[in-house]
Structure 1
Amino acid sequence: MTVIPFPERAAVPHRGIVTICSMIATLMQALDNTIANVALPYMQGSLSTTLDQITWVLTSYVVAAAIMTAPVGWMAARFGRKNLFLACVGGFTVASMLCGIADSLTQMVVFRVLQGMFGAALVPLSQATMLDLYPIQQRGSAMALWGMGVMVGPILGPTLGGYLTDMYDWRWVFYINLPFGLLAMAGLWLFMQNTGHDTKLRFDWTGFAVLSLCLGAFQLMLDRGEQLDWFSSAEIVLELIL
């Protein structure tokens, strides 16, 4: 039986640096899914909100991320993966800083929406980048390494969030992203290779609007269902219909 070897692939320059920067981006996004949870009581007092209101800090991020995950593939093909990656890491870092300086619930929710929108692309972009960096024979090991960032982030989030809140201030659960975001941006900008893009691609705005409405309503139903006693609430019933 003849074994057909995988075709050799030229080594990608600075592969290790790009791998580390991609993992940092993944870790930041995964971390922010849970790091703010333990800081909510402190935010509630600082921003003068009720318990029901402060949960929007979590809900807004999750809903925005769920909606903006859908067009990531189109945006990468339209603008180029490197350009989109840099924009998302930069936007996520700036949004994290804005969350840290927010002094009202309205500002916090708006900035968390921005954080979720920019953060939505970080995981799929970093995953695609890892597949481009490594030949087929090494992709299993590479994706296992990448998966560590995805798994460690949510696990580490509550512990790190509690430590930062207790030792410093709740705002540091957002400020912690700044040095890592800047480091990831610098590494990707300097060492990641450009990818092709098609400026003539058209976007299905109608489909995206319908999908956004459905995803947003479904995510809100899941996040607020228990709080509003599920289907005894008109809001939850409406979100289910949508």
Structure 2
Amino acid sequence: MSELMDCTGVSVQVGMVLLLSISIVAIGVVYMGIGPIIDTYVESSHQREVIYVFELMRESIIKIARGVPSRVIEAKMFDGMYFINYTGFVCVNNTTVPIYSVIYKGDEEISLENGAIFRKAGGNSFMVEKPLIIHSNNTSVISVIALHGEGSVSGKGIVRIVFTNLGCDYRTITNNTIVVHSDHYLEWKEYLEEEGFEIVDVYNKTVVASTQSNLILLKIVNVKVKLRGG
């Protein structure tokens, strides 16, 4: 009788071990299946949030161009890096304005350049938001965003981005040619064509375009930008 009970006890223990093993394997299989999905979802959520932060930056620039004295934005870092860097220039009527951009580098690169937002991923670049250039009814208003600042913030935590209004310069243009030098020159070319500009030349990351507008106004928006980690 005792031998029978011992055998029964062993059988129960073996059965529990087998059941536990099957459960662990099943959980592992499920995790392997949903793990990449979760990683992809988290990554895409980060990307959407970073793009939203750049949309807020662009909105801040627009408000400063309208006279607001300053704007402050706070954002999560997501192990990436925010930095300010020289990315090219805009030349209108022999007036050349150096262009500095606010850039985020993580799994992909997002940048705010001269009022436009660019996204670079997998070797491809896209213009997510258009620059502040208005071209209609024989009038062109070209707003050039001149950012002044330097520095970088990286790692985890919060980044604070401070924009300060340094004033605007206005000029009436007699020459109808605009020159844009940028790593995103192909996107600038496509945008200028869509706005009715005629592309005169494209070379060495530079786009030369002209407009038949009777009146061309150049607005240089001077903005100080500072990055602070927290």
TM-score range normalised by the length of the shorter chain? under 0.3
Structure with more relative contact order (C-alpha pairs < 8 Å, separation 6 or more): 1
Superposition TM-score, scaled by structure 1 size:
0.24
The structure in which a higher percent of residues are strand is 2
TM-score scaled to structure 2, two decimals? 0.25
Structure with more of its chain in helix, by fraction = 1
